[in-house]
Amino acid sequence: MDGAIEKFKKFHQRIDQLALMTDTLKIQEILRSEYGIQLSEDEVRTLQGHVPKIFTFRVIELWASKQPREALSWAASILWPNGIGVDFLQLFLDAARKTLPNLNRDMLDEMLPEGPGKTKALDLAEAATDPYSLANRILDGANPADRVSRLRSLAQGWSDPETAAEWARQNLRGAEKRAFYSQVCYWLAEQNPQAALQVLAEIKEEVIDVKSYCMDLREGSQILSELDLPGTYAHILGTMMRGLTQINSYGQQVAELIAISDLNPRERARLISDLARYWVRHDADAAIAWANTLTAQEDVRATIPLLVSQLDSDRISRWVEAYLKSPDSVMELALIEAAAPPGLYFDSRKSRLILDPIISKDPGIKLQSGIVFGNNGPSDLHDPIAGLRDLIARRAYEIYEERGKRDGEDLNDWLRAEAEVKSAVRAENRRSIERREANKEEILWRSVTLTAKRIAEVGPPEAAMEWLGSLPFASQRDYANAASVVMTVWKLRSPTEAAEWLQNSTLDPTLKSVLQKHLQS
């Protein structure tokens, strides 16, 4: 099972890399050799230039529509997570139906080999064609864990979310109903926001009833903690956010729901951030007016990054100008984070409209990489990536030993080790920051490096290097760490161009040596 999860992670990692490459023939060859995806040069060209998320969607659509049996068989070997909204396995099935319009559970069952993703694929196929039949069989199942997982698939594949919600209301209870609602409400909020709000009201009423019941029990507080009903309410409201605020016009109603709901600080911050992100896309003036009513520092910090990042350039410039006239430490941190908001695709030109004035106004500011490489990171300029590389090498050898020291899988061992180690380092860095309040230097470093990376992804990477060269880094080591982020992108896009630029640059010889090692690693 771990191998199936790893296969999913490696697929995402590889497709993200391909999205950055500019060599059409190389992309075509990698897709063919690694996944058996047969695309023409023209088809590959239609993929290029898209952000990784859209690139991934287009690859799946082309693959499954042109080679449905091969694509679906490969998809059945993956342990696909139960995501909210767009489901990758659902994309495979929808694309395959362009070639196989009569695809149903029986046809798919004959087509697919056994694999970790087969049950979910069969359930999704049946949910689209005969949801009541699947629903009845799931309800007859004896394994509670399987029932919850399969109910999520039923909700994902059911084409009529309003009918699906009504079925759940009549047939499900407790955790199973909440799991079903959390999946179906993403689509329900888009198609019928009033029906979605009715579901939310049911969940809130259930929270109140269970709380009242538990207050009379000795173990009541423990039962409430295990049920996490307020957390479920917040989660379901979060799944509705895009449909209610961006697709429809319910931003003000959602703001009022958040204000009167019993939420812990983390849930409140997440919902406020999501509300700002989606509401501003639908009605920027209304979203800004709401944001100006917030007074608590934690609310401002949760709102501003995802709101400002979605504004047009003129509004961003005016917001930064207003801050510069009346500096405020809370607003400063929020704006810096808005330059590269977590988990969101952003425009690097807008990022610079925020970062450049904030950096230039402070003559004493110095960019420091801090904990970017964790406790095992480098301690000097001569090789800022050595610590990370050593960790990857050690893990790759451990994987080799776990396989019985059989040769022939060196590249796969290294890729798996790289993914595991980098994921662990990022997780540890996040935990280190979350254990205390992140300071300005850490947030600024993150926004600068992510902006440089985005500049290199969407435009000429040399523009990213030129921008980094204009910034006040604390040391050559810090500059090398930031530049290596750009070089990682450039190495994928065009390693020859990256090497030529570095060779002809006027960088310090020691810096050149460091970045050359990075290109060759």
pLDDT digits (tens, 9 = 90+) for 93-150: 999 999 999 999 999 999 999 998 999 999 999 999 999 999 999 998 767 778 888 9
Comparing CA positions, the residue from 57, 62, 27 lying closest to residue 41 is 27
Is the CA virtual torsion 472, 477, 480, 481 positive or negative?
negative
Bin 111: left if φ > 0, else alpha if -120 < ψ < 50, else beta. Answer: alpha
Q: pLDDT tens for residues 155-169?
A: 999 999 999 999 999
Neighbouring CB atoms inside 10 A of 467's CB total 20
Q: Nearest CA to 378 among 389, 367, 370, 386?
A: 386
**285 and 302 share a domain?**
no
| Shared domain check, 289 and 301 | no
Cα–Cα distance measured from residue 18 to residue 11, given in angstroms and rounded to the nearest whole number: 11
Instruction: Indicate if 470 and 487 belong to the same structural domain.
Output: yes
Q: Which residues pair with 367 in a beta bridge?
A: 473
Same domain, yes or no: 190 and 287: yes
Residues 236 and 305 in one domain: no
Classify 56 as helix, strand or coil: helix
Residue 364 lies in a domain: no
Residues 136 and 271 in one domain: no
**Is 360 a domain residue?**
no
231 within some domain: yes
Q: Is residue 362 part of a domain?
A: no
Structural domain range at position 61:
1-140
Burial of 148 (0-12, 13-18, 19+ CB in 10 A): middle
Q: Are residues 269 and 316 in the same domain?
A: no
Nearest Cα residue to 87 out of 149, 176, 168 = 149
Does one domain contain both 136 and 2?
yes
Secondary structure in 3-state letters for 475-520: CHHHHHHHHHHHHHHHHHHCHHHHHHHHHHCCCCHHHHHHHHHHHH
Report if residue 165 sits inside a domain.
Answer: yes
**Residue ending a domain, choose from 293, 311, 342:** 293
Query: How many domains does the chain fold into?
Result: 4
In a domain, 370, yes or no: no
71 with 89, same domain: the answer is yes
Residue 29 lies in a domain: yes
Residue 359 lies in a domain: no
Do both 92 and 223 map to the same domain? no
Give the residue from 293, 316, 341 where a domain finishes. 293
Chain centroid to CA 27? 23
Half-sphere exposure at residue 501, Cβ-oriented, CA atoms within 13 angstroms: 19
Looking at 105, 140, 175, the residue that finishes a domain is 140
The DSSP code sequence of 276-294 is HHHHHHH-HHHHHHHHTT-
Alpha-carbon distance of 314 to 301, in angstroms, equals: 22
Per-residue tokens: 104? 């149903």
Instruction: Write out the chain's pLDDT in tens, 521 residues.
Output: 456 677 888 888 899 899 999 899 999 999 999 999 999 999 999 999 888 889 999 999 999 999 999 999 999 998 877 667 778 899 999 999 999 999 999 999 999 999 989 999 999 999 999 999 999 999 987 677 788 889 999 999 999 999 999 999 999 988 788 889 989 999 999 999 999 999 998 888 776 555 554 454 444 444 334 444 446 788 899 999 999 999 999 999 999 999 988 888 888 999 999 999 999 999 999 999 999 999 888 999 899 999 999 999 999 999 999 999 999 988 999 999 999 987 788 999 999 999 999 999 988 899 998 644 333 333 333 344 445 666 676 677 666 666 666 666 666 666 667 666 666 655 555 544 444 456 889 999 999 999 999 999 999 999 999 999 999 999 998 999 999 999 999 998 888 999 999 999 988 888 888 888 888 87
Whether residues 416 and 501 share a domain: the answer is yes
Are residues 136 and 12 part of one domain?
Answer: yes
Mean pLDDT of the chain: 84
Alpha-carbon gap, residue 290 to 303, rounded angstroms: 10
Q: How far is CA 98 from the centre of its chain?
A: 28
